[in-house]
Structure 1
């Protein structure tokens, strides 16, 4: 293994260790550099070869969590293009992420309203990426105007994140019920947006 490969492997170990330390009881602000280093199997001094401080690691975690969710939703859109229902497929994919990557999603939820301005700004950027991608998809697949597509996307993304906050600690039965309710709510938004778009047109 080359030095660069080893460096990337160690960096990955630090990121994974930090995610594993986050759970329903612990937030970014409550984990220490020493804890992360110990969980990653490295000396605390080695941490600084990869991150300036724990805050820089925190921003990386936010970016990684957002990217993981965006990649999953892109895969969902591929399934949609192959014939799946848009809203149904998207909601099921999102709920799968909440269950399988609960620490990542919990991080986004917490830091969205957390005490760190830098972390809040980073989460808002991730949410904005979702809104822009969904807006682009909607405009290109429905012919809806850019402004209306953006408004619809913003309403949908905010509703989905709110539903995820409820679903993260719910039972499987509760989560299935929440998913069905979310599907209906998103359909209401889509129908309303389509109605106003046609009226305006």
Structure 2
């Protein structure tokens, strides 16, 4: 898989890779490739799974660091940007295949994103004591913005990436605050507390 990842770039997508190129980069004969994967598509799907898993593991580690103190959002954003800086081709693969021509690849990326959303929703539910419907909506909004920022981060310099990181922190904080106040609004409506929140 490392050989295939190394062949990807801003100019080159997975669809343009050939079995022979991947085998040559890996230092194996093309026939040996089939001992590991049925075909190039199976290799690609495994790469998608591996990319998503790497990112989720890093974010879990970030949440463990947060438990020892520090900003939840800032630590998470920094960890995400580190992942992109260290694994640009893995993130490119997720971005490209998310809207690619292969239904199998699109489904695989969608599955990884749903895992990412579900794990974040679990964390938010535990920390914020809000219903699952609220934390899932918040997590989905956050992941959407984070992936969009990640796409920008792939092609900018250090200073621009720092500015992007600050903007992303602000956006995520706004989503977090909005989710909290919306939840309070719904709670007040349920409790029938007149006059506290103006209907929007």
1:86 corresponds in structure 2 to 72
CA distance in structure 2 between the partners assigned to 1:53 and 1:106 by the alignment: 21
Give the whole-Å Cα distance in 1 for the aligned partners of 2:66 and 2:184: 24
Q: Distance in 1 between matches of 2:64 and 2:138?
A: 21
Q: State the alpha-carbon separation in 2 of the partners of residues 45 and 171 from structure 1.
A: 41
Counterpart in 2 of 1:5?
none
2:83 is matched with 97
The corresponding residue for 1:139 is: 125
**Correspondences of 1:39-118 after superposition (within 5 Å):** 39-118=25-104
Within 5 Å, which residues of 2 pair with 1:157-196? 157-196=143-182
Q: Is it true that 1:21 corresponds to 2:10 in the alignment?
A: no
Q: Deviations over 1:54-85 (max 9, x none)?
A: 00000000000000000000010011111021
1:130 aligns with 116
1:115 deviates by: 1.0
Q: CA deviation digits over 1:83-118, x for unaligned, max 9? A: 021000000100011111001011111111111111
Q: Name the residue aligned to 2:198.
A: none
Structure 1 Cα separation of the partners of residues 100 and 87 of structure 2: 20
Give the Å deviation of 1:199: 1.5
Confirm whether residue 156 of structure 1 aligns to residue 142 of structure 2.
yes
Gaps of 5+ in 1: 1-14
Structure 2: distance between partners of 1:125 and 1:23: 23
Is the partner of 1:103 in helix, strand or coil?
helix
Tell me what 1:8 maps to: none
Q: TM-score, normalised by structure 1?
A: 0.92
Normalised to the residue count of structure 2, the TM-score between the two structures is: 0.92
Match in the other structure for 1:6: none
Give 3-state SS (helix, strand or coil) of 1:51's partner.
coil
Moved over 3 A (4+): none
Q: Quote the residue 1:4 is aligned against.
A: none
